[in-house]
Amino acid sequence: MELSTKGISMKVPNETAKDVVIREVLPGGAGPPPPGGSKETPTPPPIATPPQEEIKPKEIIDLPPTIQMPLEIKSCKFYHGIIPRVDAEMTLRFVGDYLLRRTEPKEGIGGQYLVISVKREGGYVHVPLSQEKEGGKQFYFMTTVKENTVLDLIDAHLARGQPISTTWNAYLRKPVNRSTWIIAHEDVILYKKIGSGAFGEVFLARMVDPTSEYVLDCAVKKLKLEATMEAKLRFMKEARMMRKTYKHKHVVMIFGIATLNSPLLILMELCPNGSLISHLRKNKGRVTILEKLRFSAEASSGLAYLEKMNCMHRDVAARNCLLSSKNEIKISDFGLADHKGMAIDHSLDKLPIKWLAPETMQDKIYSLKSDIWAFGIMIWEIYSDGEEPYPGLSNVQTRAKIVVHDYRMKFPEETPIEVVQVIDTCWNKNPDKRLTMGAHAMAMQQIYETKMPLLINQMMTAPQNPVAGTNGPIPPEQVPNSPQPEPQEPSAFLR
């Protein structure tokens, strides 16, 4: 057997993450393998960064009780969990392809059904499985077939070549297995809460990667239970997209999502140094211009990548830039925001007003160009050491100032003029006149590279131990390196 140890992820055949992790952290338990590992130890994939601090068993947080599914269903590869009907249809490609899924209970109506979705000639059929108890025994049935278990019921239809819907003449032919990035809730352990935001709480966690069976440290976003169905559907769609295509040094990597049960979880790369906004606020006056230029260049590069992938972020802000163990920027939470849904509540308070472009405030129009507006605000946050935008103004006042008076914020004096010039078009009232993220990224990188030698030189000649306000380098011992619970900033949505 091979163990997972801090800093190294290893293969653990036939074991759950829970077994492994608990054994690892128990005092006197099996010790870590010798440095470098044994000869047979496979080289771990360099994906996850381990937490820097010891994880204690008592900190393990249980997921809320999940809805009980018969084991045979949970382990059945063509069971896709709670996926929407449209997603099921997108998964079924050929006539006779089928899968098993589950519906969510509807408010006021209740009820949870297992559904077989199948592709037929010219469309799809979704058949809820009926259940009944007879003499203390559970039965499932479809059309005229009745069996003890769901799998027996499916096998019976396959064996007899009987349609599952006589109206539509729909036959089962080939099961379609769920993708490997759908993670079972049982393979995730939440350790401790490290933050919370508009969409849910974030935990330090470990997961078993279904393809490699490696145990990985990760961050898990637990979607709020009360999230609207629309938000959940979009969450799943976006997460699927992110997993498939989004791989960039400055974009948070998504490992998978857990949709087989509630609550929905999104499992992502752990960014041990927390959010950029906290870093800026904690180190107010001590973050150097050089570091700010690097943050600006890295964030622009991540956002330019998302733009290239045609992904609207919708919540670009310093709170959604996370920091790796090397303090590199990772853009997170792209595509998650559900502002439209929130706007329907008529609750202006729930929107991150200060990051919204005028066309979004007025007409709820989102585009890649409204992300560019928010990018300008984020750059302002960086150079003002994490100040809240439009200092002293409420959300309502901000909206009025922008929409009615065409007001724009001034950048802090020490912001390099080149940066201010690059940002100039971001806050143009006409979205078409805002430069693309690609153009911004190139310009930011150029400024960073051009100014770096001079700034390094200045830092070398500056007095040691800088005092607040001098923009000297941060002493290494002050660079946070472990996932700390965030100081609970009031969410921008709630301001």
Ligand X SMILES: Nc1ncnc2c1ncn2[C@@H]1O[C@H](COP(=O)(O)OP(=O)(O)OP(=O)(O)O)[C@@H](O)[C@H]1O
| Sequence ranges of the binding site for ATP | 222
Q: Angle at the Cα of 379 (from 377 to 385), degrees rounded to 5? A: 100
Q: Residue 206, SS3?
A: strand
Number of residue whose CB is nearest ligand X: 197
Tell me whether residue 215 or residue 356 sits nearer to Mg ion (CB atom). Answer: 356
Phi, psi of 186 (to 5 degrees): -65, -20
**Interface residue list for ligand X (CB under 6 A):** 194-199, 202, 219, 252, 268-271, 274-275, 315, 319-320, 322, 332-333, 483, 486, 491
Q: Tell which residue, 115, 103, 123, 113, has the closest CA to residue 170.
A: 123
**Partner whose binding site includes residue 195, from Mg ion, ligand X, none (CB under 5 to 8 Å by kind):** ligand X
Tell me whether residue 118 or residue 336 sits nearer to ligand X (CB atom). Answer: 336
Active-site choice (97, 187, 315, 371) = 315
Nearest distance, CB of residue 282 and Mg ion, angstroms:
17
Nearest distance, CB of residue 373 and ligand X, angstroms:
16
Q: Single out the segment in contact with Mg ion by CB under 5 A; choices: 129-137, 213-221, 293-301, 326-334.
A: 326-334
Q: Tell which residue, 94, 91, 67, has the closest CA to residue 77.
A: 91
The structure tokens 């169905």 sit at 229
| Binding flag, residue 256, Mg ion (CB under 5 A) | no
Nearest distance, CB of residue 314 and Mg ion, angstroms:
11
Q: Would residue 62 show up in a list of annotated catalytic residues for this protein?
A: no
**Partner whose binding site includes residue 389, from Mg ion, ligand X, none (CB under 5 to 8 Å by kind):** none
Q: Residue 59, SS3?
A: helix
Tell me whether residue 250 or residue 434 sits nearer to Mg ion (CB atom). Answer: 250
Tell me whether residue 298 or residue 315 sits nearer to ligand X (CB atom). Answer: 315
Tell me whether residue 259 or residue 275 sits nearer to Mg ion (CB atom). Answer: 275
| Binding flag, residue 197, Mg ion (CB under 5 A) | yes
CA distance 370 to 399: 15
Q: For strand 97-102 and strand 174-175, is the pairing parallel, antiparallel, or unpaired? A: parallel
Q: What are 245's two structure tokens?
A: 């295509």
Nearest distance, CB of residue 360 and ligand X, angstroms:
15
CA distance 275 to 223: 19
Nearest distance, CB of residue 66 and ligand X, angstroms:
22
Q: Is 222 exposed, middle or buried (0-12, 13-18, 19+ CB in 10 A)?
A: buried
Helix axes 368-383, 437-461, angle to 10 degrees: 10
Which residues participate in the annotated binding site? 222
Which residues form the interface with Mg ion (CB under 5 A)? 197, 320, 333
Active site residues: 315
